[in-house]
DNA sequence: CAGTGGTCTAGACCACCTT
DNA sequence: AGGTGGTCTAGACCACTGT
């Protein structure tokens, strides 16, 4: 195996076109994975061995590997090694009709679990006061949870609500909307904003991906029938595991 | 100015909690920007000077700065310096009704321009053959363009169509849908899939962002009234400049 | 030409996982 | 205990940008 790799590294890294060494090495490793010389889950040689094989310094190896880890091709485990990433089964979520996370996953035969890392009443930020239309002195209820499907962390959700809607957030256990339903504050409409950003270190750790991995950023504002804002949620979905799907009618559009 | 910075670096970097040096330095620079000691567009001291100020090696400075550049807080210009990034005005696009890129931007008073980097007929990939339902021997028309608003690159679009629909792609100049309209192949419906991923080096260069910056990945399949697939487009939108917005009706959902 | 970021090296020590 | 990735250093040269 190391012999086949040598073709891609020592021969490959030097020969493969021009450019900086770390880029040539990066392409060499990519080629080795694409060619199947390294399969999913396989361990790469240690960074020190790679440095020897490719005849570059370890710093250069780390630069090449870092890029490939960021793009999701490789995974590093401290003290253990560097491995070709396992293919991730991606999960889809519809954007036209908002179905529940739990229902969505159940329909796909996935076991869902939530892990709360934050449930409590807090002094609101100015953003929360404005978005939720809080009155002076009113507290804000915050719910932070890690969403998992089949044991894999998929998303981080941080919801903010008026403390009046949810006076005991620490008792929340299952569905937030169910709890809202009980106090007659079930939203009927939501506006969702989708963007992308790199995960910060703590969110990356929670989601079990490398620091600096990309994520889908979802901000949702939910409204009551009266038009009043009930809930403001900011979520982070693992970009390597999640797709949002929308169906569009092309009315008078000229693209 | 360097005097105020020193508070955040020499004093700051060493004092600011524990953890690796590059993380402390990163936090110090973040703090300096948040505190307004460094405003948008301001130049940071050179990496060598930062290394002296914070009393770390240049490698460590570069590691801290790289992270901040990836997150969009700083921008590096080779031969020139490192600067606090200018705030980017974000652009929204609706997902419920697909309006045209050009119209959308015009409504916001933005001048739109497209730059083609690829227009031609090619041998289809197997993905194109399957998605577009091409018959044997049929060529595929590919349109690759860089979308810009007010001179700023916003997105890269790569569209694939049957060569029969668009036999002379190199003549395409304006709207693709307009061209399709002329041959009676105007789509009436589309499915759009939204995810996120890091930009590769060449796309990052086209979009004028740093290599490894995050992007929104949009895949769209457009259908004729007959149900036949007309077009398959894969786009990359700058994550620091683009939001997709969807309105949702919460039918029977339990979140 | 001087100054900046970009690449690269050889070697060191630490933190962590495995056995 | 031995091997792995994580951090860090001091110094070098290159490529690019400005004057």
Tell me which residue of A33, A32, A26 sits closest to A56, measured CA to CA: A26
C-alpha–C-alpha distance, residues A26 and B162, integer Å:
35
Distance from residue A59's CA to nucleotide D12's C1', rounded to whole Å: 15
Res A218 pLDDT > 90: yes
- When pLDDT is cut at 50, 70 and 90, the band that residue A255 belongs to is very low
- When pLDDT is cut at 50, 70 and 90, the band that residue A2 belongs to is low
- Of residues A61 and A136, more confidence is placed in A61
Chain B closest-CA separation from residue A192 CA (Å): 5
Distance from residue A44's CA to nucleotide C19's C1', rounded to whole Å: 20
- When pLDDT is cut at 50, 70 and 90, the band that residue A250 belongs to is low
- When pLDDT is cut at 50, 70 and 90, the band that residue A16 belongs to is low
Q: Residues of A with CB below 8 A from B101's CB?
A: 255
The pLDDT, as a whole number, for residue A127 is: 93
The pLDDT, as a whole number, for residue B3 is: 67
Q: Residues of A with CB below 8 A from B102's CB?
A: 254-255
DSSP A7: I
- Of residues A196 and A8, more confidence is placed in A196
Summarize the confidence of residues A94-117 as an average pLDDT: 78
Tell me which residue of A210, A244, A216 sits closest to A72, measured CA to CA: A210
- When pLDDT is cut at 50, 70 and 90, the band that residue A152 belongs to is confident
Within 13 A of B90's CA, how many CA atoms are on the CB side? 12
The pLDDT, as a whole number, for residue B215 is: 96
Residue nearest to nucleotide D6 (CA to C1'): A78
Q: Is the CB of B63 under 7 A from strand C?
A: no
The pLDDT, as a whole number, for residue B198 is: 96
Summarize the confidence of residues A42-47 as an average pLDDT: 94
Query: From the list A101, A247, A251, which residue is nearest B255 (CB)?
Result: A101
Residue nearest to nucleotide D4 (CA to C1'): A79
Residues 21-60 of A with CB under 7 A from strand D: 44, 46-49, 58-59
> Using the beta-carbon criterion (under 8 Å), do A214 and B222 form an inter-chain contact?
no
The pLDDT, as a whole number, for residue B111 is: 83
H runs (alpha helix) in chain A: 2-6, 12-15, 21-34, 47-54, 58-70, 101-107, 126-132, 176-182, 201-207
> Using the beta-carbon criterion (under 8 Å), do A196 and B249 form an inter-chain contact?
no
- When pLDDT is cut at 50, 70 and 90, the band that residue A12 belongs to is very low
Q: Are A219 and A193 in contact (CB under 8 A)?
A: yes
Q: Are B241 and B155 in contact (CB under 8 A)?
A: no
Q: Are B216 and A195 in contact (CB under 8 A)?
A: yes
Please report, for residues A8, A28, B146, the alpha-carbon distance to residue A14 in angstroms, rounded to integers and kept in the order given.
Answer: 10, 9, 33
Res A251 pLDDT > 90: no
Distance from residue A18's CA to nucleotide C6's C1', rounded to whole Å: 15
Residue nearest to nucleotide C10 (CA to C1'): A57
Nearest CA in chain B to A101: B255
> Using the beta-carbon criterion (under 8 Å), do A253 and B103 form an inter-chain contact?
yes
Q: Are A236 and A253 in contact (CB under 8 A)?
A: no
Q: Give me the domains of chain A, ranges plus CATH numbers.
A: 2-84 (1.10.10.10), 91-245 (3.40.1410.10)
Q: Residues of B with CB below 8 A from A253's CB?
A: 97-100, 103, 177
Q: Residues of B with CB below 8 A from A246's CB?
A: 95-96, 191-192, 194, 246
Instruction: List the single range of A118-122, A141-145, A175-179, B80-84 with lowest mean pLDDT.
Output: A175-179
Best B218, B246, B252 member to test A by mutation, with max A CBs in 10 Å, is B246
- When pLDDT is cut at 50, 70 and 90, the band that residue A73 belongs to is very high
Res A10 pLDDT > 70: no
Tell me which residue of B109, B104, B100 sits closest to B92, measured CA to CA: B104
Distance from residue A48's CA to nucleotide D3's C1', rounded to whole Å: 11
Summarize the confidence of residues A151-168 as an average pLDDT: 92
Question: How many residue contacts between A and B have a Cβ separation below 8 Å?
Answer: 174
Please report, for residues A70, A90, A209, B197, the alpha-carbon distance to residue A212 in angstroms, rounded to integers and kept in the order given.
Answer: 7, 20, 9, 11
User: For residue B22, what is the enclosing H or E element?
Assistant: helix B21-34
The pLDDT, as a whole number, for residue B196 is: 96
Summarize the confidence of residues A10-14 as an average pLDDT: 53
Distance from residue A96's CA to nucleotide D14's C1', rounded to whole Å: 53
Counting residues of chain A whose pLDDT is more than 70, the rounded percentage is 91
C-alpha–C-alpha distance, residues A134 and A106, integer Å:
36
Average pLDDT over chain A, rounded to an integer: 88
- When pLDDT is cut at 50, 70 and 90, the band that residue A123 belongs to is very high
Nearest CA in chain B to A252: B99
- When pLDDT is cut at 50, 70 and 90, the band that residue A199 belongs to is very high
Distance from residue B51's CA to nucleotide D12's C1', rounded to whole Å: 17
- Protein CB footprint (7 Å) on chain C nucleotides: 3-12, 15-18
The pLDDT, as a whole number, for residue B185 is: 84
**Low-confidence spans in chain B with pLDDT less than 70:** 1-3, 10-16, 97-100, 250-255
Instruction: List the single range of A92-96, A143-147, A236-240 with lowest mean pLDDT.
Output: A92-96
Q: Is the CB of A43 under 7 A from strand C?
A: no
Best A248, A249, A251, A252 member to test B by mutation, with max B CBs in 10 Å, is A248
Q: Residues of B with CB below 8 A from A177's CB?
A: 250, 253-255
- When pLDDT is cut at 50, 70 and 90, the band that residue A1 belongs to is low
Tell me which residue of B189, B151, B253, B240 sits closest to A104, measured CA to CA: B253
């Amino acid at each position: 195996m190391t012999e086949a790799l040598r073709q891609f590294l020592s021969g490959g890294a030097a020969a493969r076109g021009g450019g900086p060494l770390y880029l040539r090495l990066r392409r060499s490793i990519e080629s080795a994975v694409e060619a199947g010389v390294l399969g999913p889950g396989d361990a790469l040689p240690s960074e020190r061995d790679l440095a020897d094989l490719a005849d570059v310094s370890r710093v250069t190896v780390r630069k090449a590997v870092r890029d490939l880890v960021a793009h999701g091709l490789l995974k590093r485990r401290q003290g253990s090694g560097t491995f070709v990433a396992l293919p991730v089964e991606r999960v889809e979520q519809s954007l036209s009709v908002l179905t529940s996370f739990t229902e969505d996953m159940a329909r796909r035969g996935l076991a869902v679990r939530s892990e709360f890392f934050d449930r409590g009443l807090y002094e609101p930020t100015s953003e929360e006061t404005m978005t939720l239309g809080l009155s002076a002195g009113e507290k804000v209820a915050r719910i932070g949870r890690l969403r998992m499907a089949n044991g894999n962390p998929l998303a981080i959700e941080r919801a903010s609500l008026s403390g009046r809607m949810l006076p005991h957030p620490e008792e929340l256990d299952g569905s937030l909307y169910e709890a809202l339903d009980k106090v007659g504050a079930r939203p009927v409409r939501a506006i969702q904003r989708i963007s992308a950003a790199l995960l910060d270190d703590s969110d990356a750790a929670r989601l079990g991906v490398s620091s600096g991995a990309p994520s889908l950023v979802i901000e949702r504002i939910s409204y009551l029938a009266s038009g009043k804002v009930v809930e403001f949620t900011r979520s982070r979905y693992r970009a390597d595991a999640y797709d949002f799907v929308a169906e569009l009618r092309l009315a008078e559009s000229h693209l």
